[in-house]
Amino acid sequence: MRRRSREVSSSRKRRRACFVDGVAMCGDCVEKEYPNRGNTCLENGSFLLNFTGCAVCSKRDFMLITNKSLKEEDGEEIVTYDPDLCKNCHHVIARHEYTFSIMDEFQEYTMLCLLCGKAEDTISILPDDPRQMTLLF
């Protein structure tokens, strides 16, 4: 029996992968990993300006939303999905997590995604935001 030696081509590119909850995300498909998006929290969709193209098939196309789940824990709504799945070869680019909760008189939103970025926002549910009120002496 003759053994063949396997040589890894030096032209092969090693992919940067991050793992979140056992799901591999691809750092080679994005311009910047987890960009700061300020207070822009996306419940769904993809931040295509940060998408450089699929590292597997080299195409730059729209994303597929898959494995979407919604769960509630202690009054907090958590939406998780793999939105950033390549439409052409189904390569998983990122996992998207969006949370919504009501704390006292405020709605709180957060987003965390390799492609879409990280963001937080807090909005008052009252007609007049108590944070914006000035004290009268």
CB-based burial of residue 100 (10 Å sphere; 0-12 exposed, 13-18 middle, 19+ buried)?
A: middle
**For the ranges 59-63, 79-83, 94-98, which has the lowest average pLDDT?**
79-83
What pLDDT shows up at residue 15? 47
Instruction: Name the CATH superfamily housing domain 17-124.
Output: Transcription activator, Churchill (2.60.40.4240)
> Using one digit for the tens of pLDDT, what is the confidence trace for 11-67?
334 445 444 444 456 888 899 999 999 999 988 778 889 999 888 899 988 888 777
Q: What is the pTM of this model?
A: 0.71
**For the ranges 32-41, 95-104, 125-134, which has the lowest average pLDDT?**
125-134
